[in-house]
Amino acid sequence: MKHSLVKIIALVLALMLAFSTPVFAQADTVEKVTVGIFDVCMGLIDDGLTQLDTDESESTDGSVDSEVPIDPEQPSNPENPIEPPTEPENPDNPDNPDDPDNPDNPDVPVEPEDPVEPEQPKPTFDEIPGDTLVGRMYICSEIVFLGHSWIYIESTFDGEIPVGYYTVAPFGSVSVGTFLMTRRDGIGVYYNVERYSATKFGLRSANWLGMDVTKDQLLKVNKEIKGWNYWDLYFNCTFFASKVWNSVSDKFFMPMMFPVFTKAQANTKGGNKNVAMQPHDNPEDCFKQRGSDDDAELETVSSGSLKTRIG
């Protein structure tokens, strides 16, 4: 519709220009002028129509409906477009090497750990002072028929201690006594036979009296045990137990022939019948002392020495 209207207007203008040509002009001149004017008008009209089509197209597409305000802070250089802002990296991300909480970040100073002092080795029996308590010693008696008396030592030391020729484990114990012919291995000093018998058969009519012993006191006890390797009617188990006890205790026991007298003396000095030695059921850990002093050694007892009660 618009195109036709424009062409009609152009034709009218061309006619008006033609008729306005002077009458003295020749006919061919008039024709050329008229055609030229018409071409010029049509060229102008075509340019106008082209622009009109462009405006209608943009208006129809809706892409240029109005002017878009320009942000004054927005740079207008098309060669350097503004990149959209990126999200900040998660500071709590442990995989982020720049995270100050990341231990792998080389820029984060590492706090030195407190030095751990090496554990000091525990002192041995030979290294401790002489007044250090190392155990508790008991003089014990059981009255079955003629009866029996012996020494029992229980360690309170966190390390090995020597008792006679026997080595007591930390917080362990040992019994030491002498026998005549009631043991298959003969006369002499025995280790752990009383403990083994008490574990296997129990104790009857027994009592004991105890005292704490230091390292120096135990060394005196050991000297008495190592120097003993005999038994007779007087220097029997009662005499042995009393002599070892008297080497360090101020509660003196009169050595007498029968264990019943040792038991009676223990009762008058504060002893009791609650004898509770550590259990012992290992026959391989029961020994007979062969010899005395520096020439002595321990031998495992035979099974025959463990078949009967101690009393």
Mind listing the pLDDT tens digit for each residue in 105-131? 666 566 777 777 778 888 999 999 999
Task: Kindly tell me the sign of the dihedral angle through the C-alpha atoms of 248, 254, 259, 261.
Answer: negative
Q: What is the chain's percent helix, strand, coil content, to nearest 5?
A: 35, 15, 50
pLDDT band at 135 (very low <50, low <70, confident <90, very high): very high
Dist CA 261 CA 194 (whole Å): 19
pLDDT of residue 205: 93
Asked if the model's pLDDT at residue 216 lies above 80, the reply is yes
Average of per-residue pLDDT across 264-270: 96
Q: What is the pTM of this model?
A: 0.64
**Which residue from 177, 171, 143 is spatially nearest to 157, judged by alpha carbons?**
171
- CA-CA distance, 74 to 60, in Å (whole number)? 29
| Beta partners for residue 161, in sequence order | 168
Q: Give tens-digit pLDDT for 145-199.
A: 889 999 999 999 999 999 999 999 999 999 999 998 789 898 999 999 999 999 9
What average pLDDT is seen over the chain? 78
Contact 250, 270 (CB under 8 A): no
CA distances from 291 to 54, 188, 226, 229 (A): 132, 9, 9, 6
pLDDT at 119: 80
Angle 71-73-74 (CA atoms, 0-180°, nearest 5)?
65
Instruction: Give the confidence band of 62 by pLDDT, cuts at 50, 70, 90.
Output: very low
φ/ψ region of 56 (left if φ > 0, alpha if ψ in -120 to 50, else beta) reads alpha
Tokens of 296: 């002595």
Give the side-chain half-sphere CA count within 13 A for 255.
Answer: 16
In degrees, rounded to 5, the angle at the alpha carbon of residue 294 between the alpha carbons of residues 291 and 296 is 25
CA distances (Å), origin 292, targets 64, 165, 175, 288, 297? 124, 10, 18, 11, 8
Which among 197, 164, 193 is positioned nearest to 290, based on CA atoms? 164
For 52, the token pair is: 């009109």
3-state SS, 247-281, equals: CCCCCCCCCCCCHHHHHHHHHHCCCECCCCCCCCC
Which residues fall within 8 angstroms of residue 93, CB to CB, at 6 or more apart?
99
- Residues 116-152 as b/e (b if ≥16 CB within 10 A, e otherwise) read eeeeeeeeebeebeeeeebbebbbbbbbeeebbbbbb
Which amino acid appears at position 141 of this protein?
S
Domain ranges of the chain: 2-57, 133-306
